[in-house]
C-alpha cells in the first residue's frame, strides 16, 4: 500500500474521531485532532496543496489551544461541568471577520499562484483562511463556527476530489453533514 494512502486513511480515521468527540464536547477531541492534523501536513505538502499544509499546521497549534481552553478552570464562561459554554457573536463581528479573511485569502492565493507550483491556489487559500477563523471560533465554542464549517466543507469536497484525495473527500462529505448536526446540538445548549 502507498505510504501517502496510509497517511490519508489514518488522518481520516483520526479526523472522524475528532469530529464525533467535538460534537459531544468531549475534550479528548483535541488530542485526536492534533495527531490527525500532524499526519495530514505531509500529505497536503506532497499533494501541492500548500495552503492546506499550513492550515493543518495551524490545526495542531489550535488543538493545544482548544485543549487548554476547554480544560481551563480560570475561564469566565464556564458551565457547571467546568467546560466552556457555547456562545455566539453578533453581525458586526462576522462582517469584519469575513472581510478580513477574504482579503487575507486573496493575498495568500496571489502569493502561491505567483511564487509556487501550487495547484488551485485560490480555492485552497479561501478554504484555508476561513478554516483558520472557524477553528478559532470552534475552540472558543462559538455556535457560528458550524455555519462557517458548512460552507468551507462544501467547497473543500471539490478541492480534495480534484486532487484525487478520495478518502479526504469522503471525510469532508461526513464533515459537511455532521456540521449541521454540530450546529443543532450546540444551538440546543445555547438556548
Domain ranges of the chain: 3-190
Would you place residue 73 in the very low, low, confident or very high pLDDT band (cuts 50, 70, 90)? Answer: low
C-alpha span between 14 and 43 (Å, rounded): 14
Q: Using alpha carbons, list the distances in angstroms from residue 101 to 121, 133, 139, 161, 171.
A: 15, 8, 18, 24, 24
Q: How many CA atoms lie within 13 A of 132 on its CB side?
A: 20
For residue 122, what are the contacts with CB-CB under 8 A and spacing of at least 6? 105, 109, 113
Residues in Cβ contact with 59 at an 8 Å cutoff, skipping those fewer than 6 apart: 33, 34, 37, 40, 135
At residue 1, the pLDDT reads 72
Least confident range of 3-17, 21-35, 75-89: 75-89
- Cα–Cα dist 190/67, whole Å: 21
Summarised one tens digit per residue, pLDDT across range 163-186 is: 898 998 998 999 999 999 999 999
pLDDT at 28: 95
Please tell me the pTM assigned to this model.
0.85
Residue 77 has pLDDT above 80, yes or no: no
Q: Can you give the pLDDT at residue 14? A: 96
Separation CA 149–CA 80 (nearest Å): 28
- Judged against a pLDDT cut of 90, whether residue 49 lies above it is answered with no
Opening angle at CA 97, ends 95 and 101, nearest 5: 120
**Quick one: pLDDT band at residue 78, thresholds 50, 70, 90?**
very low
pLDDT 10s digits, 81-112: 446 889 999 999 999 999 999 999 999 999 99
Amino acid at each position: 500500500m502507498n505510504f501517502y494512502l496510509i497517511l490519508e486513511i489514518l488522518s481520516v480515521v483520526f479526523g472522524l474521531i475528532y469530529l464525533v468527540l467535538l460534537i459531544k464536547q468531549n475534550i479528548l477531541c483535541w488530542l485526536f485532532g492534533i495527531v490527525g492534523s500532524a499526519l495530514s501536513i505531509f500529505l497536503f505538502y506532497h499533494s501541492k496543496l500548500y495552503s492546506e499544509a499550513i492550515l493543518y499546521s495551524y490545526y495542531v497549534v489550535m488543538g493545544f489551544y482548544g485543549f487548554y481552553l476547554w480544560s481551563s478552570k480560570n475561564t469566565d464562561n464556564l458551565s457547571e461541568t467546568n467546560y466552556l459554554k457555547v456562545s455566539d457573536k453578533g453581525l458586526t463581528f462576522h462582517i469584519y471577520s469575513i472581510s478580513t479573511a477574504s482579503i487575507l485569502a486573496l493575498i495568500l492565493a496571489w502569493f502561491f499562484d505567483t511564487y509556487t507550483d501550487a495547484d488551485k491556489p485560490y480555492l485552497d487559500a479561501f478554504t484555508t483562511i476561513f478554516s483558520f477563523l472557524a477553528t478559532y471560533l470552534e475552540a472558543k465554542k462559538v455556535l457560528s463556527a458550524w455555519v462557517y464549517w458548512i460552507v468551507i466543507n462544501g467547497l473543500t469536497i471539490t478541492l480534495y476530489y480534484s486532487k484525487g484525495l478520495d478518502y479526504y473527500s469522503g471525510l469532508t462529505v461526513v464533515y459537511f453533514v455532521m456540521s449541521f448536526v454540530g450546529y443543532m446540538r450546540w444551538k440546543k445548549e445555547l438556548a
